[in-house]
Amino acid sequence: DGGITQSPKYLFRKEGQNVTLSCEQNLNHDAMYWYRQDPGQGLRLIYYSQIVNDFQKGDIAEGYSVSREKKESFPLTVTSAQKNPTAFYLCASSYRAGEQYFGPGTRLTVT
């Protein structure tokens, strides 16, 4: 069964802690993406990766980091430097220049 999995669905952290969100895909897509969704702001691109071992900053990369060591995996770390980390985080993947497919999301709450 092909698709994109994100875990966990809900995540709670204390302020000042780094947290890593998981994203795995078995669609054999080359490109993977991380978005942040906030009410009334749509989806904003954090980071994206077109091939393994390479990634680019999106529009709101500050306070986030990523790695792409395997084609199937693109974890996102929300660092303590991110000023407003509470949000809904969506991972997506695509073939190069194709439409993006989205995972179910992780809702992160930092208190």
In whole angstroms, what is the distance from residue 97 CA to residue 105 CA?
22
**Contact call for residue 33 and other proteins (CB under 8 A):** yes
**Contact call for residue 76 and other proteins (CB under 8 A):** no
Taken as a whole, the chain contains a residue count of 111
In whole angstroms, what is the distance from residue 56 CA to residue 46 CA?
9
Please identify, using beta-carbon distances, which residue of 38 and 69 lies nearer to other proteins: 38
Window of 10-18, 20-28, 33-41, 76-84 that interacts with other proteins by CB under 8 A: 33-41
**Contact call for residue 71 and other proteins (CB under 8 A):** no
| % helix, strand, coil for the chain, step of 5 | 0, 55, 45
In whole angstroms, what is the distance from residue 91 CA to residue 45 CA?
10
Window of 13-21, 39-47, 62-70, 71-79 that interacts with other proteins by CB under 8 A: 39-47
**Contact call for residue 100 and other proteins (CB under 8 A):** yes
